Amino acid sequence: MLRVASAGGETTGHALLGAVSGLDDAALTRAVRPAVIANVLHARGDGYAFRHELIREAVHEDLLPGEHGRLHSRFAEAIDADPTLVPPGRAAIEMAHHWHSAHDSACALIAAWQAAAQAGRAVAAAERLSLLARVLELWDQVPDAAERIGADHGRVLEEATAAAHDAGEFERGIALATSALRELDPAAEPERVAKLLENRGQFKTKLGRKDYARDLEDALDYVPADVSPAIRVDILLALAHCPPKVTNERSYAEEALALARRAGDEAKEANALLTLAMFNADPGQQAPSDSGPST
């Protein structure tokens, strides 16, 4: 029973432990009680946790290779069959962990992709980035990876780039955006290329790189106002806010305002107005800042 529990992680629910072990409630209670009495396990909520993480790790490392894979597969299958066995919003993330631990590359890739979406909805940026990194790591091990998750490799890189932004991992974001740009054809997908260039330019700005403006200006060239006004507004405002000052920064804000009004986008219109107000204010009226309002 301790071996089974060790594969469950920090805390394993009573019902989940029963589903994986195949024991009914009474038999499970009899099996767990000696470990609780011996203070190896203790009750936590509606489940059990090891008294110390080092004990759990020692038991888990003692699993034989075949036993290790089977146990984690059983955990993943049990959660897939009944997601209520884990806390709300955790099913895909827990399955991703167990399939990865079971060394099932195809299932691990699919689960990690689904879990990344779940982590995004939960605003768990660091966890989302970690899961997308796992998808990228497993990609070459699954021949039909794109068909299995319904997204190409470039799309995964784009999602990882966005996650890096949210997680504040700017150096990593530059590397991910650069990799994604190598896979995209600007002539065929200018909007995707523009968004990646904008993200890379923003990362460089955050890091104080001097070549940030080139990425943003290149991004602007890919999205004319009559093709992608919403994306163009974001890029224009990013250019207007970037330090050090860009020669025609005010014209960027003015164009952004006109486009936002034409599209009826009140949020972007407000952002453009705030930017223009910053330019119109006297130096003494401006609070020192490294960046402008969020776009």
pLDDT of 151 over the 50 cut = yes
More confidently predicted of 293 and 176: 176
Instruction: Give the residue numbers spanning the domain of 262.
Output: 223-282+290-295
Question: Residue 41 belongs to what H/E stretch?
Answer: strand 41-44
Strand partners, 11: 49
CA angle 125, 127, 132 (to 5 degrees): 95
Torsion sign over Cα 150, 154, 156, 162: negative
Q: In this structure, what are the phi and psi dihedrals at residue 42, rounded to the nearest 5 degrees?
A: -135, 150
Over residues 37-61, mean pLDDT: 94
Q: Is residue 125 part of a domain?
A: no
Residue with tokens 């609780």: 36
Query: Residue 288 — very low, low, confident or very high, per pLDDT cuts 50/70/90?
Result: low
In a domain, 50, yes or no: yes
**Within a domain: 10:** yes
Kindly state whether residue 294 falls inside one of the protein's structural domains.
yes
Which class for 148: exposed (0-12), middle (13-18), buried (19 or more C-beta within 10 A)?
A: middle
Answer whether residue 187 is part of any domain: no
Does residue 277 sit within a domain?
A: yes
> Which is more confidently placed, 138 or 209?
138
Predicted confidence (pLDDT) at residue 293 exceeds the cutoff of 50: no
Across 223-248, average pLDDT: 79
Q: Mean pLDDT across the stretch 250-275?
A: 91
The stretch 186-208 carries a mean pLDDT of: 93
Q: Tell me the chain's radius of gyration from C-alpha atoms.
A: 25
- Comparison of pLDDT for 149 and 291, the residue scoring more: 149
Average pLDDT of span 217-239: 90
13 within domain boundaries: yes
In a domain, 237, yes or no: yes
The total number of structural domains that make up the chain: 2
- Point out the domain boundary residue: 22, 37, 63: 63
